[in-house]
Chain A
Amino acid sequence: SQTIHQWPATLVQPVGSPLSLECTVEGTSNPNLYWYRQAAGRGLQLLFYSVGIGQISSEVPQNLSASRPQDRQFILSSKKLLLSDSGFYLCAWSVRGAASVSPLHFGNGTRLTVT
C-alpha cells in the first residue's frame, strides 16, 4: 500500500534561518506531488505542485521554493524564513494520469513556528 512521510512533525526556527521540509512517498510511481500551507483560521493554500522530476509549478509568489530531486521525494525550502512563514505545511500525492478522479492523499504535516 502507498504511504507518505513528512518530517519533521514540528519545527521552531528563528527569523532569517533556512528551512528544509522533506516529503517522501512509498508504494507508487510517478505521483503528482503537492505542498499546501494551512495558516491558523484559514483554509489550505496550494504552494507548489509537481508532475515529475524537476517539474515544479509555483502557485503564489512567496519566500519559499520547492524541488523534486527524485520521483517520490518533494522538498520545501527557504533561504531566510519570515514570521509570516509560520503555519502547518502539508505534503500530498495523487495518481498521475487518473486526472480528476484521483483524490489527494496527505501526510501528517509539519507545524512550523518562526520566532
Chain B
Amino acid sequence: AQSVTQLGSHVSVSEGALVLLRCNYSSSVPPYLFWYVQYPNQGLQLLLKYTSAATLVKGINGFEAEFKKSETSFHLTKPSAHMSDAAEYFCAVRDHTDKLIFGTGTRLQVFP
C-alpha cells in the first residue's frame, strides 16, 4: 500500500533562509506525488505534483521538489523563505484506487 512520511512536524527558518521540508514515500508502483499548502482555517492548495514527466518539479510561490527514486524521497525546497510562506505543508501520494493519501503535515514557521 502507498504511504508518505513527513519528517519533522515543525520546521523553523529565518526569512531569506533555505526551506527544506522532507517527504519519503512508500509505493509498490511508480508513484504520483503531490505537495499541498494549507493556510490557517483554509482548504489545501496544490503547490506542485510529480507525474513522472520530470524529476525536478517546479511549483507555485517559488517552491520546487525533486523526485529521487533511489532515496524514495520527494522533498520540498525553496531557496529563500518569505514571511508569507508560514503555513502547514502536506505531502501526498495517490494510490492505485485514485485516492490521495496524505502525510501528517509539517508546520513551517518563518522568523524575521
Of A42, A88, A92, A94, the residue contacting B98 (CB under 8 A) is: A94
Determine the chain B residues whose CB is within 8 A of the CB of A51 once the complex forms.
98
**Is the pair B45, A106 in contact by a Cβ cutoff of 8 Å?**
yes
Assign chain A's interface to a size class: 20 to 34
Residue-wise interface mask of B (70-92) relative to A, using a CB-CB cutoff of 8 A (1 in contact, 0 not): 00000000000000000000100
Determine the chain A residues whose CB is within 8 A of the CB of B104 once the complex forms.
42-43
Q: Does A32 make an interface contact (CB < 8 A)?
A: yes
Shortest C-beta distance, B27 to chain A (Å), equals 11
Which chain A residue shows the least CB distance to B93? A100
Q: Does B58 make an interface contact (CB < 8 A)?
A: no
| Chain B interface, number of residues (Cβ within 8 angstroms) | 21
Determine the chain A residues whose CB is within 8 A of the CB of B41 once the complex forms.
88, 109, 111
CA–CA, A58 to B62, complex, Å? 37
CA–CA, A105 to B102, complex, Å? 14
**Is the pair B45, A49 in contact by a Cβ cutoff of 8 Å?**
no
Of A49, A101, A103, A107, the residue contacting B99 (CB under 8 A) is: A49
**Is the pair B51, A109 in contact by a Cβ cutoff of 8 Å?**
no
CA–CA, A51 to B44, complex, Å? 21
Given A101-B51, A103-B34, A103-B49, CB of A43 within 8 Å of CB of B102: yes
Given A42-B104, A49-B99, A94-B98, CB of A100 within 8 Å of CB of B43: no
Of B43, B46, B49, B105, the residue contacting A109 (CB under 8 A) is: B43
Q: Does B28 make an interface contact (CB < 8 A)?
A: no
Q: Which of A40-54 contact B (CB under 8 A)?
A: 42-44, 46, 49, 51
Taking beta carbons and an 8 Å cutoff, which residues of A are in contact with B? Answer: 6, 32, 34, 36, 42-44, 46, 49, 51, 88, 90, 92, 94, 99-101, 103-109, 111
- 5 A–B contacts, CB within 8 A, in A order: A43-B105, A100-B98, A104-B100, A106-B36, A109-B41
Taking beta carbons and an 8 Å cutoff, which residues of B are in contact with A? Answer: 32, 34, 36, 41-46, 49, 51, 90, 94, 98-105
